[in-house]
Structure 1
Amino acid sequence: MNRQSQTAVLFLLGATLLHAGTTGLYLRYVKAGLRPLLLAAGAALIATALATAWYERRRHRKTAAGRSPAGHGTEVDHAHPSHPEPRVSWLLLLPLLALILVAPPALGSYSALRSGTALQKPYGYGRMPAADPAPLSVVDYASRAAYGHGRSLHGRTVRVTGFLALDRSGTPYLVRMALNCCAADAQPVKIALTGELPPVLRPDAWLEVTGTYTPRLTRDPVNNGPVPYLKVASARPVPVPHDPYDETWNN
């Protein structure tokens, strides 16, 4: 891989990062708050590639202008010997091609059931939405139910959206994967469902569940973390959201 090829790869990588950041593809890999950094990194890579290309073109022009006519000045520059780059450097194209050609789905029930709930006691709770039913994230409802003992949920109907996961016993959970930084550290937050459940439960299907708080609580078999219940009044299938990960995590 010569310098021109390196410049091309650098430019393509920067363009791919900009593409991912402007189309929403980046949400499959990192949390939404990292978008400005992703765009800045893409712009920096493109600027570096253009600067390198300009420098190389200028260097070649100076070299050509300094050569003597009729074959003079052809001696080798021993002060700056050239070394061929290792062929293994072409492997740098693999993650680039994967990012362009393969858009992996968001983590689902397979990962959720093999990881313990990441629910943690919050420092405080925001004001409940005035709408009825109140739209809450999986993390928000689970925190209020498990650690707030449902005090802010009494007498309220809530609406929560997540994907379904069924354990070996058939117990249904409404799950949302929460990110600290990127998909590599995603952890599930789970709500166990009871009440008026759909007759057919399909893992990884996205549901908008409307229901009420119940004090029933269970423990995650993976890490013994708290998993609160939600008494379902109705549930309807919904498309996969633009951002499949829970945006309220660590906010």
Structure 2
Amino acid sequence: MNRVTQNLLLLLLGGALLKISAFSADFANYVKPGFRPLVIAAGVVLVVLAVAALALDLRRSRSAARQGELLRARVAEEAYLAALVGRDPVTPAHQEEHEHVGGHRVAWLLVAPLTVIFLVAPPALGSFAVQQAEQTSHVPPPTLVEARPTVLKDGQVNTLSMIEFANLAWDDSSRALRGKTVRLTGFVVPSGRDGGWYLTRMRIGCCAADALTMQVMVKGVPAPATDAWVRVTGTWSPRKVRGTDAYSPPEVTASRVERIAAPDEPYE
């Protein structure tokens, strides 16, 4: 791979980062929203470096072309003078600078992220990632979730994140969920059991690679299509802990399930 191709790939990679961060919200499928400025900055840096390298290579190419023309003119002049005086032409002494333009093969690795972003564009993690996990981590116990007091109101729908619902469901001593109507948002994952399905949301600390599965068992309504994003309205059903079932996901008896578009920020 020559230097021009390397720099063009670098330019395309920077443009790809800007495409998913500055001109769309696709970056949120891979990292937390707070990383958006960093992704944009990285894209800008790559574009600037690539443009600067291309400009430098163009300048070097023009300089080499001028030096070549000058050398050829000197050779022609020497040949003409040698013919006039009847001697052999003397080749001008010069030192050629050999530039390695072959580049490194490792630069071809830049093609991989470009192909992924422009051709494949993987969506946010969904039911396949959940079902393929060797050990699904349901909504964690309160020692693993954020302690954040949430006050619910009677007589109205309380919109909660999965982490807020987890706190209240695992800490039944406060009885904050009893008799309250809640609304949760997530995507559908089959439960493999009769009588319910999982409302699921991924929670990430940095990027999709460290995603934690947050699930709530939904009962009372048929399961929508797998991976469909839905908004579930219902009431909490207290868990009945039996043996190893101590860490089973909490349950919600749904009164309404609405199909919605996938949110711009699919992770919590």
Q: Normalization by structure 2: what TM-score?
A: 0.77
Relative to its length, the structure with more strand (as a share) is 1
Relative distance call for 1:156 and 1:118 in structure 2 (3 A) is: closer
Distance 1:143 1:82 in 2: 61
Name the structure 2 match of 1:116. 137
Name the structure 1 match of 2:19. 19
Q: Kindly state the Cα deviation for residue 123 of structure 1 after the two structures are TM-superposed.
A: 4.2
Name the structure 1 match of 2:96. 76
Name the structure 1 match of 2:86. none
- SS of the equivalent of 1:169 reads coil
Please, what is the CA RMSD of the aligned residues? 2.8
Name the structure 2 match of 1:213. 236
Q: Deviations over 1:200-227 (max 9, x none)?
A: 54322222111122321569x8x97451
- Which of 21-30 and 147-156 deviates more? 147-156
Name the structure 1 match of 2:205. 180
Q: Aligned AA for 1:142?
A: A
Q: Is residue 46 from structure 1 mapped to residue 47 from structure 2 by the alignment? A: yes
- SS of the equivalent of 1:208 reads strand
Q: Kindly state the Cα deviation for residue 150 of structure 1 after the two structures are TM-superposed.
A: 5.5
Q: Is residue 90 from structure 1 mapped to residue 108 from structure 2 by the alignment? A: yes
Name the structure 1 match of 2:78. none
Distance 2:101 2:111 in 1: 21
Conserved in 1, the CA contact under 8 Å of 2:127 and 2:227?
A: yes
Name the structure 2 match of 1:234. 256
Written as runs of structure 1 = structure 2, the 5 A alignment for 1:145-184 is: 145-147=169-171, 149=173, 151-170=175-194, 171-184=196-209
Deviation beyond 6 Å, 4+ runs, structure 1: none
Q: Kindly state the Cα deviation for residue 176 of structure 1 after the two structures are TM-superposed.
A: 0.4
Name the structure 2 match of 1:249. none
Query: Gaps (5+ residues) in structure 1?
Result: 247-251
Distance 2:152 2:63 in 1: 68
Distance 2:199 2:7 in 1: 47
Q: Kindly state the Cα deviation for residue 81 of structure 1 after the two structures are TM-superposed.
A: 5.1
Q: Deviations over 1:98-147 (max 9, x none)?
A: 21111223222232233222635334214447693111112221222114
Name the structure 2 match of 1:104. 122
Distance 1:193 1:159 in 2: 12
Distance 1:243 1:123 in 2: 20
Conserved in 2, the CA contact under 8 Å of 1:28 and 1:106?
A: yes
Equivalent residue pairs, number: 240
Conserved in 2, the CA contact under 8 Å of 1:116 and 1:224?
A: no
- SS of the equivalent of 2:249 reads strand
- SS of the equivalent of 1:209 reads strand
Distance 2:231 2:221 in 1: 12
Q: Aligned AA for 2:116?
A: A
Relative distance call for 1:48 and 1:235 in structure 2 (3 A) is: same
* Percent of matched pairs sharing the same residue: 34
Distance 1:41 1:212 in 2: 45
Larger Rg over CA atoms: 2
Distance 1:65 1:25 in 2: 47
Q: Aligned AA for 1:90?
A: W
Query: Gaps (5+ residues) in structure 2?
Result: 76-91
- SS of the equivalent of 2:12 reads helix
- SS of the equivalent of 1:84 reads coil
Distance 1:105 1:33 in 2: 19
Relative distance call for 1:118 and 1:235 in structure 2 (3 A) is: closer
